Chains A and B, each alone.
Chain A
Amino acid sequence: MGEHIIKLPDVGEGVAEAELVEWHVKVGDIVREDAVLAAVMTDKATVEIPSPVDGEILWLGAEIGDTVAIGSPIVRLKVAGEGNVKAGGKPTEPAADTEAPAAPASPKPETAPAPKPARPVEAPVKAAPPAAAAKPLSTSSVGAPRAEGEKPLASPAIRLRAKEAGIDLRQVSGSGPAGRIGHEDIKAFLARGPQVAKASSLARNDGVQDIKVIGLRRKIAEKMTLSKSRIPHITYVEEIDVTALEDLRAALNKEKRPVGAERPKLTLLPFLMRAMVKAIADQPNLNALFDDEAGIIHQHGGIHIGIAAQTPSGLVVPVVKHAEARDIWECGAEVIRLAEAAKSGTATRDELSGSTITITSLGAMGGVATTPVINHPEVAIIGVNKMMVRPVWDGTQFIPRKMMNLSSSFDHRVIDGWDAAVFIQRIKTLLETPAMIFVEG
């Protein structure tokens, strides 16, 4: 039997460290070769770390949320055969730990006792429901919250247990003398579940839950802070009559697909993307990245449109590369493909980076206007608001038209308000007269 140490592999170009976001294994687990051990997150993508060998997990070298340097040991396994840790060879930190539990650099032996005190709390939680639900005791132990300011009466042991189980003791009524809360009361409260706490509503809740900002949420937070603190935004809102566009879209979607061509159902996005491509042809300075430290605007020929997408784990921005070289069907197909990859978490690092301008859409949610945050270091972002039928005055009467607002932000350091308005007006013209989108030259 030997030991095998797995170090964090290089997960992407030029990345020196990655954040550990998930463990798929725990100490004591038996893993097979290629089984996923952990997931780490780089700037954009989540990367899974597979096991190169069969073995039993002895040690995990980081906690969720830790930033781990590429090349540092993250897992130690017990394997058949020699393993990759030489006995008496170069002493590596984790190797020293197993044989000598007192070694100071060992996170495992020291952190191991910590979860213990939590166990007595967990056990009754799991064990309680079937037994306690039948007990008549539960009626008396669930009652009105205490008067404001009145502290619940309970011994320190009970208070500690409640704290660790996340229970607000003010919502637990005690069956003991003078309303003292006993262990049985806690048990009954836990057995009844959280809806009981809700039943005794209107209780003041001073609870504070500390939630560590890790993983994608941390990346989003950092990115947004960077964007908002570095870029002076100017936001321009314009309404667009998309009645004609919607008619065209419906007609195109109805049209019989040519045999062999994979044509997706078109949403509004591909039209907007094509309109943007046309507008950028007149104003190439909108399709740019601003390196403000160097004082250089990198104006790109290729139009790579980022599409902000909501996924179960948070906001990601997959990128439709070279929109200028894709027709409306290709744009549509690429948007669908990327959205699915983003939602299932299979989008690659490459697919999630390299945008030169971004579209964000909260259209599905409604809302009249938004103030989109520019995807740093880009200089423009186009926000789509919900399309709705509104009455429009045509000079003689109100007529129902399909209207949609665009809320767009620009980096005011390099884009003047006038230019921003010209850009949006051009898009407006294109979308309101959609045939123009297809006119070449």
Chain B
Amino acid sequence: MREISCKLLVIGAGPGGYVCAIRAGQLGIDTVIVETGKPGGTCLNVGCIPSKALIHAAEEFEKIAHMAGGKSPLGISVAAPKLDLAKTIAWKDGIVSRLTSGVSGLLKKAKVKTVQGWATFRDGKTVEVETETGLQVIRAEVIVIATGSASIELPFLPFGGPVVSSTEALALNEVPKKLAVVGGGYIGLELGIAFARMGSQVTVVEALPRVLAQYDAELTRPVVKRLAQLGITVMLEAKAKGLSTQGDALLVETADGKNAKLAADKILVTVGRKPVTEGWGLDQIDLDMAGKFIKIDDHCRTSMRGIFAIGDVTGEPMLAHRAMAQGEMVAEIVAGHKRSWDKRAIPAVCFTDPELVTAGLSPDEAKALGIEIKIGQFPFAANGRAMTKLGEDGFVRVVARADNHLVLGIQAVGQGVSELAASFGLALEMGARLEDIAGTIHAHPTQGEGFQEAALKALGHALHI
């Protein structure tokens, strides 16, 4: 049995873990990172990046298919496009592999030692890793748990055969003719929309009264409208019950309590993600939990001294950029810097069609806190750039305190609004007031002008509406 010792050991090389290790390496900390798969975790390998690649391919395909139908107002006509999904997936895999090897290179550059294998805690200072070449024991002064999350499996719809998780959906070789999506959250809708654009007949089965329930109804309205345009059937307040005996249909209990049979080649189950808290010896170290997540404080410290936890395993929002920020912070804390979690906003993006972006408080959340607010909303129908992109649906909305105009939250829905997340996040983090946004020159013609106009609207003097 071989043994190595280090100052910092990071378990899991997802966005949280690898950022933590790179930053620690930069700070001169003797760091080891353990990962069983390829570096990059869910995000790079089976999450953010590959899904965005597929979504982009689907968008391109649908655009051309639309033109081929002779319906394009742009005056472009083309022959009917064909999609070779296997090739699309290979292209996507190429991007993923470039990025994962990029992460490996960055780790190496930061002098981080990578150990490949499954890590299990022996005690609070020692981890055993089953590697290809045998058992490797690693002793560390500080350990960071960054084990991430995994798709939740429904007991009556176990993954396998036609039932797939998002991971398998991102590796299909053929576009399923009929796709049933169980769960109308952001992962289900992102992928459901992508497959619909590639030609699948998609049905979304959602147990709640509406899709994208974490967003307010006003914000999701343009998405719901688009679902209908794409021919996606949405069954609300409906419960998936299981797979038909032949395995070619999903059994559903509809809103009015009737049983329905939904023919499907593939059934994509996206009912959420759960923290990976099993299989790595959590029982050996007995950390305090917050529900199903590992309990952490504002330094990402767990209940055991010398053990930190970051990313999805520590709770909502389960977003790569939250994990990255935590990872960076923990590395600096280990290096002796004074740091604590003091972020004002974690922007969230949903890559549906149209896209959604939120940062800070929604109007309802602000009201629930008892804050008197002003809201400014500007529609893309009045934005020149949106018009030229055939993307007039959607709007930017700014929520601010009524008394001092401090911006509390910003939301947008529309084509390509994901890129506005940067300025939304910056505005909140800097503590901008409505006047700050209104007083910043926003380049014309861009969709970003909508942000400035929304702030002007809240101040009562929008210029273009």
Given the complex, which residues of B lie within 8 Å of A179, measured CB to CB? 404
Which of A107, A177, A179 has its CB near the most chain B CB atoms (within 10 A)?
A177
Given the complex, which residues of B lie within 8 Å of A107, measured CB to CB? 28
By the criterion CB–CB under 8 Å, are A114 and B431 in contact?
A: no
**A-B CB contact pairs (8 Å), 29 listed:** A110-B27, A110-B28, A111-B28, A113-B28, A114-B27, A114-B335, A114-B336, A114-B337, A117-B337, A151-B344, A153-B406, A156-B429, A156-B430, A159-B342, A163-B338, A163-B340, A164-B337, A164-B338, A166-B338, A177-B404, A177-B433, A177-B435, A177-B436, A178-B401, A178-B404, A178-B431, A178-B433, A179-B404, A180-B431
By the criterion CB–CB under 8 Å, are B339 and A163 in contact?
A: yes
With the chains together, A107 CA to B29 CA distance in Å? 10
**A155's contact among B337, B339, B430, by CB below 8 Å, is which?**
B430
B427 to chain A minimum Cβ distance, whole angstroms, is 11
A111 to chain B minimum Cβ distance, whole angstroms, is 5
**A114's contact among B28, B111, B342, B344, by CB below 8 Å, is which?**
B28
Q: For chain B residues 107-155, which have a beta carbon within 8 Å of chain A?
A: 111
With the chains together, A154 CA to B335 CA distance in Å? 25
Instruction: Please report B residues at the A interface, Cβ cutoff 8 Å.
Output: 27-28, 111, 335-340, 342, 344, 401, 404-406, 429-431, 433, 435-436
Q: Closest residue to B400 on the A side, CB-wise?
A: A178
By the criterion CB–CB under 8 Å, are B431 and A153 in contact?
A: yes
Q: Helix, strand, loop or mixed for chain B's interface?
A: loop
Given the complex, which residues of A lie within 8 Å of B430, measured CB to CB? 155-156
By the criterion CB–CB under 8 Å, are B28 and A155 in contact?
A: no
Which of A104, A110, A178 has its CB near the most chain B CB atoms (within 10 A)?
A178
Instruction: Please report A residues at the B interface, Cβ cutoff 8 Å.
Output: 104, 107, 110-111, 113-114, 117, 151, 153-156, 159, 163-164, 166, 177-180
Q: Closest residue to A154 on the B side, CB-wise?
A: B431
With the chains together, A151 CA to B111 CA distance in Å? 38
Which of B28, B336, B337 has its CB near the most chain A CB atoms (within 10 A)?
B28
Q: How many A-B residue pairs have CB under 8 A?
A: 41
A48 to chain B minimum Cβ distance, whole angstroms, is 26
With the chains together, A111 CA to B406 CA distance in Å? 40
With the chains together, A177 CA to B339 CA distance in Å? 26
Given the complex, which residues of B lie within 8 Å of A164, measured CB to CB? 337-338
Q: Closest residue to A111 on the B side, CB-wise?
A: B28
By the criterion CB–CB under 8 Å, are A178 and B338 in contact?
A: no
By the criterion CB–CB under 8 Å, are A155 and B433 in contact?
A: no
By the criterion CB–CB under 8 Å, are A155 and B338 in contact?
A: no
By the criterion CB–CB under 8 Å, are A104 and B111 in contact?
A: yes
With the chains together, A313 CA to B450 CA distance in Å? 64
With the chains together, A113 CA to B332 CA distance in Å? 13
Q: A153-B431, A178-B406 are in contact. List 12 more A-B contacts (CB 8 A).
A: A107-B28, A110-B28, A113-B28, A153-B406, A156-B430, A163-B338, A163-B339, A163-B340, A164-B337, A166-B338, A177-B433, A178-B405
B69 to chain A minimum Cβ distance, whole angstroms, is 49
Given the complex, which residues of A lie within 8 Å of B431, measured CB to CB? 153-155, 178, 180
With the chains together, A131 CA to B430 CA distance in Å? 27
With the chains together, A155 CA to B432 CA distance in Å? 9
B401 to chain A minimum Cβ distance, whole angstroms, is 8
With the chains together, A163 CA to B332 CA distance in Å? 13
With the chains together, A180 CA to B430 CA distance in Å? 9
With the chains together, A361 CA to B338 CA distance in Å? 40
With the chains together, A156 CA to B433 CA distance in Å? 16
A183 to chain B minimum Cβ distance, whole angstroms, is 13
With the chains together, A137 CA to B337 CA distance in Å? 31
B2 to chain A minimum Cβ distance, whole angstroms, is 20
Given the complex, which residues of B lie within 8 Å of A110, measured CB to CB? 27-28
Q: Closest residue to A178 on the B side, CB-wise?
A: B404
With the chains together, A350 CA to B47 CA distance in Å? 66
With the chains together, A45 CA to B15 CA distance in Å? 48
B358 to chain A minimum Cβ distance, whole angstroms, is 19
Q: Closest residue to B343 on the A side, CB-wise?
A: A156
A357 to chain B minimum Cβ distance, whole angstroms, is 36
Q: Closest residue to B429 on the A side, CB-wise?
A: A156
Given the complex, which residues of B lie within 8 Å of A159, measured CB to CB? 342
Given the complex, which residues of B lie within 8 Å of A153, measured CB to CB? 406, 431
Q: Closest residue to A207 on the B side, CB-wise?
A: B340
B328 to chain A minimum Cβ distance, whole angstroms, is 12
Given the complex, which residues of A lie within 8 Å of B27, measured CB to CB? 110, 114
Given the complex, which residues of A lie within 8 Å of B337, measured CB to CB? 114, 117, 164
A278 to chain B minimum Cβ distance, whole angstroms, is 49
Q: Closest residue to A212 on the B side, CB-wise?
A: B336
Q: Closest residue to B406 on the A side, CB-wise?
A: A178
A440 to chain B minimum Cβ distance, whole angstroms, is 57
Q: Closest residue to A166 on the B side, CB-wise?
A: B338
With the chains together, A107 CA to B405 CA distance in Å? 50
With the chains together, A153 CA to B428 CA distance in Å? 10
With the chains together, A86 CA to B125 CA distance in Å? 39
Given the complex, which residues of A lie within 8 Å of B404, measured CB to CB? 177-179
With the chains together, A113 CA to B27 CA distance in Å? 8
Given the complex, which residues of B lie within 8 Å of A163, measured CB to CB? 338-340, 342
A165 to chain B minimum Cβ distance, whole angstroms, is 9
Given the complex, which residues of B lie within 8 Å of A111, measured CB to CB? 28
B119 to chain A minimum Cβ distance, whole angstroms, is 24
Given the complex, which residues of A lie within 8 Å of B28, measured CB to CB? 107, 110-111, 113-114
Counting from the closest, the 10 A-B pairs by CB-CB distance are A110-B28, A178-B404, A153-B431, A155-B430, A178-B406, A163-B338, A180-B431, A178-B433, A177-B433, A164-B338
Given the complex, which residues of B lie within 8 Å of A114, measured CB to CB? 27-28, 335-337
Given the complex, which residues of B lie within 8 Å of A151, measured CB to CB? 344
